[in-house]
Amino acid sequence: MRDVRVQDLRRHRLLTLAAISGSILLVDQLTKAWAEQTFGGRTVEIIPVVLSFTFTENTGAAFSIFQNAGTLLSLAAVVALAVIAGSIWSPRPLAEVVGLSLIAGGAAGNLYDRLTRGENAFDGPVIDWIRFPNFPVFNLADTAITFGVAVILVTAWRSR
């Protein structure tokens, strides 16, 4: 009976991971395509002085570090996805599964850009399109990763 319950919990964690990360990947790619089509060479102020949308391509990571290191960043994303997929099998709180799923979806969204937008595998730029003043331009995948890390940190802090 215990084995059936463990299998059900694993299946639930896996379905949660697939649903959340798959949704993030889909919405991220749809919004990036929309941003490329809509904002091609211009910036549109949504809330003056607070929020604007634009289209940029980033060959690096957050805050434009590691420029032209797409292969390294892609391999890091593949490793992160593999670690998340492997860790989902062990018992963990639902909040942690949600956090890992957010990170996986964001990593997959940016990895998809790197795989499909470059001349070679793994070296494509990532589309960024959300801009706040004095902050790097980012996308929904980056947002999902940030929220995922926050959820995991809060979960770890609360469990102490």
Confidence of residue 2 (pLDDT cuts 50, 70, 90): low
Q: Which residues are catalytic?
A: 128, 142
From the centroid of its chain, how far is CA 55?
18
Claim: this prediction has a pTM higher than 0.85: yes
In which element (H, E) is residue 45 found?
A: strand 44-47
Q: Which residues of 9-30 are buried (b: 16+ CB within 10 A; e: fewer)?
A: eeeebeebbeebbeebbeebbe
The first and second tokens of residue 46, run together, are: 């949504």
Confidence of residue 129 (pLDDT cuts 50, 70, 90): very high
Single-letter amino acid code for the residue at 65: I
The first and second tokens of residue 48, run together, are: 């003056």
Confidence of residue 139 (pLDDT cuts 50, 70, 90): very high
Confidence of residue 64 (pLDDT cuts 50, 70, 90): low
